[in-house]
């Protein structure tokens, strides 16, 4: 080790770019509309030199005017308000209750709820107990969807009886009391018992309940209502929901009659691997029911690309394939039944940029395809309840957003904001460089971003950090100017003097089915680390300032798993790694992850995926980090790996942060400082600045928003 120290100015520059602080350097990155009663007009807050300024927008009139927002009506976060604003539904104990907004009267909607068999709750596996407690919340709003006429709710009774329990010990409770046990229901891959939900419709005035006449749905991770996998039809008195088999290989659309509980199957599709309503876990399904329930637009990857198929909902017969080509539909925006046109978001239509999104239209007969946003930008779209217009946030990774309101011809009606990134540039930021390289197979194109160090000098030599998040449920690299939490985290490391790369290797979503399925039964590849190694070598071949003798990796959650896997499988490349809260052994992680992406539980397959079983292969320098109260990826995951490393006689560093949850909320300063110190010593080969302290973030809602927006 050297006596030379890194200048504290580098840490100060990195601190300015931390994810929770970066928002202060960029003004008007997004517009978050607050819709008015007509569902067409809205108001929003803009960042100005004077602070927040509010505007009301009338797209029909093409106006944007200063506005005084209404006073906070005092709506309770834990309540679900009816469309007419007259009634709220909330959970009390294990049951659902209703409240009259006008006079405060409360009444019970259910009365027989019990522990682990209650109404309107989601499965506990992803309930985020620790995070909610830290921000002062006692729970989440109930899983409730109101009928359009505000008379009934769709909800479910959740059954977690017999589901495996996982435990944490809160060693130092905030009240200063003795350690206490924290327990939640949390099923592992292969477990016989997993959470289920029984769908039902409740008349809010009378309490009359109609239960679905079908077996309960499997719900290993989330409420189907919360994920919009169950919803009310807008133009008919019906409920639709999607159901997947446990092996994820069959997907069905069903219709629930809310008057009788009768269930009818509309469309069913099966395949050799997952059949999904969208490639991104948690995203709204790419399915539309219209024509008063007579027709369905069904999303399928049966031709290897995600496209729309028109079905007769009465017979279940396919009429035609509406969209086609080597690109994928990402979202249905609107179906114009009179014009027989569907509007949607697609990716893969911008040459060289397969993840950039375009707004498109096509006739329901498969003719008249057109791109409404016919440019090379990425378009993130927001739609109001009226769906007569859409808000378009147009940008690229290097082009700041221009935010407008457009009509369905693509015409700009009102310009809202142009993002101001002058503060970001003043902080030393430069836009990342998009790159395309060949995957390890030498054939497939893979895409990523290259972040350059501050004050970059091509005559110098720089250490390189790979910052993975391996999916397969989401992408690491975003096509928009807002890089998301992971991208913001990468930017901080450039201030310290690192080159950083991010790659979406084979096995990640957003492209064709075969590309995504590369990870199926192959989670051990961690988003195809072979492709990351291929990318590093190809990039360095034309960039001699990338020092491949000083390559590290860092990430958290799935990225923590990938970091350790990179060091186990590619020690000749990855010399140092920092893995935070990694799910290192999927045999002991929640079942939805492994069974969805590695397939049905197979002890031999899951053992090959385990970092624990492969710990003996470790070379290089490793820092493990975990929050002691992480109730998503439990700390036993890191402790199991540590035990295996010790057994194998391996040296490593480890930090367990008391009280920290999965995202280190309130402890980010500890996480980042330890990470910076580690890589400064191991790859920059310098001593960190002495006694540097990052300002604690507290309970920063900006960070929470990045994860749950």
Q: How far is 275 from 596, CA to CA, in rounded Å?
A: 10
pLDDT at residue 709 in the model: 54
The packing angle between helices 668-679 and 484-496, to 10°, is 50
- Please give the Cα distance from 13 to 325 (Å, whole number): 46
Tokens of 331: 């979202």
* pLDDT at residue 611, as a whole number: 98
What is the DSSP code string of 239-252? EEEEEE-TTS-EEE
Mean pLDDT, rounded, for 361-384: 97
Averaged pLDDT for residues 455-468: 97
Average pLDDT over residues 344-369: 98
Angle between helix 701-708 and 484-496 (nearest 10)? 130
Q: Mean pLDDT, to the nearest integer, of 672-693? A: 96
Q: Look at residue 707 in the predicted model and tell me its pLDDT.
A: 55
> pLDDT above 70 covers what percent of the chain?
97
Q: What is the mean pLDDT of residues 629-654?
A: 98
Mean pLDDT for all residues in the chain: 95
pLDDT at residue number 536: 98
Contact of 308 with 298, CB cutoff 8 Å: yes
Classify domain 76-160+195-283 by CATH architecture: 8 Propeller (2.140)
Assign 87 a pLDDT band (cuts: 50, 70, 90): very high
Residues 600-620: pLDDT tens digits?
A: 999 999 999 999 999 999 999
- Whether the per-residue pLDDT at 350 is higher than 80: the answer is yes
Percent of the chain with pLDDT over 90: 89
- Give pLDDT, residue 49: 79
d(CA 34, CA 71): 13
CA 284 vs CA 278, 299, 310, 439, 584: distances in Å? 7, 12, 19, 30, 29
**Residue 708 banded pLDDT, cuts 50, 70, 90:** low
Instruction: Go through 31-43 and write b for each residue having 16 or more CB atoms within 10 A of its CB, e for each that does not.
Output: bebeebeeebbbb
pLDDT of residue 136: 83
Does residue 166 contact residue 153 with C-beta atoms inside 8 Å? no
In the numeric block, which tokens belong to residue 209?
């309940």
pLDDT score of 75: 61
CB-based contacts of 75-78 (< 8 A; 24+ apart in sequence): 77/137, 77/141, 78/137, 78/138, 78/139, 78/140, 78/141
What is the tens place of the pLDDT at every residue in 554-599?
A: 999 999 999 999 999 999 999 999 999 999 999 999 999 999 999 9
Residue in the block written with tokens 């935010």? 403
Token code pair at residue 24? 């202060």
Concatenate the DSSP letters of all residues of 439-491 into one string.
Answer: -TTSSSEEEEEEEPPTT--TTS-EEEEE-----SSS-SS-SSSS-HHHHHHHH
Strand-pairing partners, residue 383, are 390
Residues 500-548 have pLDDT tens digits of 999 999 999 999 999 999 999 999 999 999 999 999 999 999 999 999 9
Question: Over 80: is that where the pLDDT of 237 sits?
Answer: yes
- Distance in angstroms (rounded) separating the CA atoms of residues 220 and 593: 10
Give the 3-state secondary structure of 638-699: HHHHHHHHHHCCCCCEEEEECCCCCCCCCCHHHHHHHHHHHHHHHHHCCECCCCCCCCCCCC
- Lowest model confidence (mean pLDDT) among 67-76, 140-149, 183-192, 477-486: 67-76
A 10 A CB-CB count for 701 gives: 11
Mean of the pLDDT values across residues 268-288? 95
Q: How many helices (H) and strands (E) does the chain have?
A: 13, 40
155-187: pLDDT as tens digits: 999 999 999 999 999 998 888 999 999 999 999
The length of the chain, given as a count of residues? 709
Give the CATH class of 8-26+422-708.
alpha beta
Residue 257 has pLDDT above 80, yes or no: yes
Tell me what pLDDT residue 703 has.
61
- Strands 288-290 and 370-371 come out as unpaired
**Beta-sheet strands, E only, within 1-48:** 34-35, 42-48
Least confident of 134-143, 215-224, 354-363, 660-669: 134-143
pLDDT of res. 702? 59
* 76-160+195-283 has the same fold as 8-26+422-708: no
> Domain boundaries in the chain?
8-26+422-708, 76-160+195-283
Under a CB-based contact definition with an 8 Å cutoff, are residues 451 and 494 in contact? Answer: yes
Check whether 336 has a pLDDT greater than 80.
yes
Tens of pLDDT, residues 103-119: 999 999 999 999 999 99
């Amino acid at each position: 080790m050297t006596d030379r120290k890194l200048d504290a100015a580098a840490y100060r520059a990195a601190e300015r770019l931390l994810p929770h602080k970066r928002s202060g350097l960029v003004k008007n990155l997004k517009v978050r509309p607050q819709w008015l009663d007509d569902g067409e007009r809205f108001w929003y807050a803009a960042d100005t030199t004077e602070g927040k300024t509010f505007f009301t927008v009338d797209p029909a009139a093409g106006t944007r005017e200063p506005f005084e927002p209404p006073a906070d009506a005092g709506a309770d976060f834990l309540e679900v308000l009816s469309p007419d604003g007259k009634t709220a539904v909330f959970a009390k104990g294990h049951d659902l209750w209703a409240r009259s907004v006008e006079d405060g009267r409360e009444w019970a909607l259910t009365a027989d709820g019990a522990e682990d068999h209650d109404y309107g709750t989601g499965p506990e596996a992803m309930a985020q107990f620790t995070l909610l407690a830290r921000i002062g919340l006692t729970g989440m709003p109930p899983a409730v969807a109101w009928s359009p006429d505000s008379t009934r709710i769709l909800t479910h009774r959740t059954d977690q009886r017999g589901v495996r329990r996982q435990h944490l010990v809160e060693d130092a409770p905030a009240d200063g009391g003795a350690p206490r046990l924290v327990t939640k229901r949390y099923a592992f891959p292969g477990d016989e018992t997993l959470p289920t939900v029984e769908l039902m419709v409740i008349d809010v005035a009378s309490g009359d309940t109609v239960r679905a006449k079908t077996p309960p749905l499997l719900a290993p991770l989330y409420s189907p209502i919360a994920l919009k996998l169950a919803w009310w039809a807008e133009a008919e008195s019906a409920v639709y929901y999607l159901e997947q088999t446990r092996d994820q290989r069959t997907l069905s659309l069903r219709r629930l009659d809310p008057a009788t509980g009768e269930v009818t199957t509309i469309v069913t599709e099966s395949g050799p691997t997952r059949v999904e309503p969208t490639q991104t876990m948690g995203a709204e399904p790419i399915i539309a029911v219209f024509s008063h329930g007579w027709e369905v637009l069904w999303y399928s990857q049966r031709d290897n690309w995600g496209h729309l198929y028109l079905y007769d909902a009465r017979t279940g017969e396919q009429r035609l394939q509406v969209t086609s080509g080597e690109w994928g539909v990402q979202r249905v925006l609107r179906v114009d039944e009179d014009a027989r046109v569907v509007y949607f978001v697609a990716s893969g239509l911008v040459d060289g940029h397969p993840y950039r999104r375009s707004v498109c239209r096509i006739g329901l007969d498969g003719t008249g395809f057109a791109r409404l946003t016919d440019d090379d930008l990425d378009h993130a779209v927001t739609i109001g309840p009226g769906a007569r217009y859409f808000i378009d946030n147009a940008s690229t990774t290097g082009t700041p957003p221009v935010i407008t309101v457009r009509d369905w011809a693509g015409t700009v009606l009102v310009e809202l904001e142009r993002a101001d990134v002058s503060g970001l540039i003043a902080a030393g930021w430069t836009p990342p460089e998009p790159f395309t390289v060949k995957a390890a197979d030498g054939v497939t194109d893979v895409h990523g971003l290259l972040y350059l160090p501050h004050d970059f000098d091509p005559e110098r030599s720089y250490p390189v950090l790979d910052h993975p998040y391996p999916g397969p449920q989401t992408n690491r690299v975003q096509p928009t100017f807002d890089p998301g939490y992971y991208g913001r985290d990468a930017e901080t490391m450039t201030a310290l003097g690192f080159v950083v790369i991010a790659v979406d290797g084979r096995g990640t979503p957003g492209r064709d089915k075969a590309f995504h399925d590369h990870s199926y039964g192959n989670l051990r590849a961690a988003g195809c680390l072979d492709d990351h190694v291929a990318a590093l070598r190809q990039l360095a071949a034309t960039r001699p300032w990338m020092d491949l003798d000083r390559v590290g990796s860092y990430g958290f959650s799935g990225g923590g798993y990938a970091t350790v896997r990179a060091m186990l499988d590619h020690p000749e490349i990855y010399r140092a790694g920092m893995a935070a809260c990694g799910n290192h052994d999927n045999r002991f992680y929640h079942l939805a992850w492994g069974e969805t992406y590695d397939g049905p539980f197979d002890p031999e397959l899951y053992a090959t995926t385990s970092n624990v079983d492969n710990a003996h292969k470790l070379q290089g320098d490793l820092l493990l980090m975990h929050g002691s109260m992480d109730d998503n990826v439990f700390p036993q995951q890191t402790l199991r790996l540590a035990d295996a490393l010790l057994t194998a006689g391996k040296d490593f560093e480890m930090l367990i942060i008391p009280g920290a949850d999965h995202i280190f909320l309130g402890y980010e300063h500890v996480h980042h400082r330890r990470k910076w110190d580690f890589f400064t010593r191991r790859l920059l080969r310098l001593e960190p600045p002495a006694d540097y302290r990052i300002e604690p973030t507290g309970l920063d809602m900006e960070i929470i928003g990045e994860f749950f927006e």
